[in-house]
Amino acid sequence: DKDTVVSQRIVLVIVRRLGLNARDVYERLKTSGILNGYIVSSYDVLHTFGKEYLMEDLTDYMREKGVLN
């Protein structure tokens, strides 16, 4: 399913960038609403951005939502 593939790819990139546990990142994204409310629902637009821009955007948003320090 597309949503699962999208979720896994994004989580793995965030994990590699931040050096966090994959399950922890997934849970943070899911419980904050970022996973379904932003990543999955906006994937058609998000996937057109470069990886660096996308990761900066996502980590900034995670900080705004209190998911990252």
- Report residue 4's pLDDT band, with 50, 70 and 90 as the boundaries: confident
Residue 34, Cβ neighbours under 10 Å: how many? 19
Element housing 20 (H / E): none
Of the candidates 2, 14, 6, the one whose C-alpha atom is nearest the C-alpha of residue 54 is: 14
Of the candidates 27, 41, 43, 32, the one whose C-alpha atom is nearest the C-alpha of residue 65 is: 32
Give phi and psi for 65, each to the nearest 5.
-85, 0
Q: What digits encode the pLDDT tens for the residues 5-45? A: 878 888 898 899 899 999 999 999 999 999 999 988 888 88
Asked whether the beta carbons of 51 and 13 are under 8 A apart, the reply is: yes
